[in-house]
Each structure stands twice: as structure tokens, then as C-alpha cells.
Amino acid sequence: MGNSRTLWPICCLMTVLIAGCGPRSTVSPEQPLLMATAPELIGRLDERTKSIQTLKALVTIHPEGQPAMTASLSFARSANDGPPSVRLKGFDPFGRTLFDLVSAGDKVRLTIPGEGRVLKSGPNKQDDPLLPVHAAELRLAVSALVGPFVGPGEVPVLERAGASYLIHLIRVSGAEGRLTKRLWFERGRLQLVHEEIFENDAGSKAAAVEFFDYRTQSGPAGSRIDWPGRLILTRPGAGSDRGGRLELEFQEVHPNAVIPPDEFKMP
């Protein structure tokens, strides 16, 4: 009996010491869900669209089934609301140019210096089977980043889906409407995390874009712009001439950078 009374305080002390020395797991509190209306969510995207007229960035491209590569990206909006101008130059580990892809207006030019080739085509034609990024996919990815997100005649319809807001963009023509896009916003920070784009004719899905790793970039006049550090664009029918997966990881982003007048020049 005497031994039990002696050992009891010691056992208690050892239990406290062991518990104190063990790893402590802390559960982070869930971020509260924010409330917003459709105009407020669209307004956040429109602010990014209006803030960015040009863009220069350094990106890492992760082509499906191919090694990653570094590339410089240039973007400029059209003065007449036409298709934006985009240029992508890929480099090897030694800084040598692998390809130079320019998309401006309704023209595309692909230059492959090592092979002495210059290819020209329309904006929707696959440029070269060996090129990891095609002009149509690149334009689609950049448009998903900088907008415009709502086109003429499109009406936003808001749906609350658990921890997300979902906006259906409907293009109304007469008495009929057609779904053109779906935009997913996570409600913790009201950031766009997923976008679906639909074909003009049959209403089938043309592409899906996912956005990750948001960071804040400096905009004009001291403004701040939410910018995803990584995006993944997926087109249906992977493995065919139409399908594929494009991943862009941004290393540097410079909104409204000065771009030389001949950056997108077509000879």
C-alpha cells in the first residue's frame, strides 16, 4: 500500500512530462465564408481587366509528356477590342531560343531558329506537332488570366455551391440563352479558382482552366492585383489533334510593362 502511494505522484509527473514533450498538433481555424453578389464578383475581375493593358512575364512551361522549359511571355491588348497580341519565346538551359511564337490579329508566326523554319498560319491552326504550346491554347490561357471575363450580351447568374460561388454566363439572343462560361470563386478570399469555356455552336466544353497559388502584384497608381502563380488549361479530347494540357508557372510578372512597338510585328 505504501509503495502505491509513493509511485502515484511519480507516475503522474511522468505522464505530464511525456505529454509535454510530444508533438502538439494544432488545427487551423477554417476561413470564414464571405458574402458577395454577382456584380461584386464580376467587378473584381473587371478591375484586373482594366488594370492590365500589357504584360511581360517569365514562365515555366510544363508540356504534357515533355520536359519543362523556360519562356518569356509578352501580352498587349488590342486598341479596337480585337484579339490581343501574344508572344512566347522558349529557351533551352543555355539560354538559346528554341522557338518564337507570335500571335497578332488573325495571324500566327512560328520561328524555330535551330531548323531555320518560319511557319505562318491562321490563329486556330496547329502550328507544329513538335511545339509544346499552340497559339490558340496560349491565347485562351492568357485571356483566362486578364479577361475580359464577360463578353457583350452575356448575363451573369449567381449560384451558391457550398464553399464556392458559381457564376453562369448566359449569352441572350432573342428569347433564347446559351451558356458560354462558368466561373468558380472560393468564398474564403473570393478568388477565381476554376473557369469552364464552352463552344459557340453546340454548347460543348471547349476548355477548363484552374488557378493556383495566388499572390499580390503591384498595379498602376499603387493598386494591388491578385495574380495566380500557376494555371492549368485542359482541352477535351486529350491525345487528339484538339486535346491537350498546358501548365504555366509564373516566375516573374510585370503588369503594364513597356513593350517595344515591333514586339508583335509580322514580316
Q: CATH code at 66?
A: 2.50.20.10
Domain encompassing residue 247: 38-255
In this predicted structure, what is the pLDDT of residue 14?
36
With respect to residue 89, please indicate whether it lies within any of the assigned structural domains: yes
Q: 161 pairs with which residues across the strands?
A: 164
| CA nearest to 117, candidates 98, 93, 136, 92 | 98
The answer to whether position 233 is within a domain reads yes
Identify the pLDDT of residue 116: 59
Report the domain count for the chain: 1
Domain assignment of residue 148, yes or no: yes
Give domain status of residue 12, yes or no: no
Phi and psi, residue 98, nearest 5°: -85, -40
Model pTM above 0.85: no
In a domain, 157, yes or no: yes
Q: Is residue 198 part of a domain?
A: yes
* pLDDT by position in tens, the chain (length 267): 445 444 444 344 333 333 444 444 444 456 688 999 999 999 989 888 888 899 999 999 987 777 888 999 999 998 777 788 999 999 988 888 988 989 888 888 888 887 656 666 654 454 455 566 777 788 888 888 998 899 888 999 999 998 999 999 999 877 788 999 999 999 999 999 999 999 766 567 789 999 999 988 776 666 678 899 999 999 876 444 445 788 999 999 998 999 998 999 876
Residue 72, in any domain of the structure: yes
Identify whether 1 is part of a domain: no
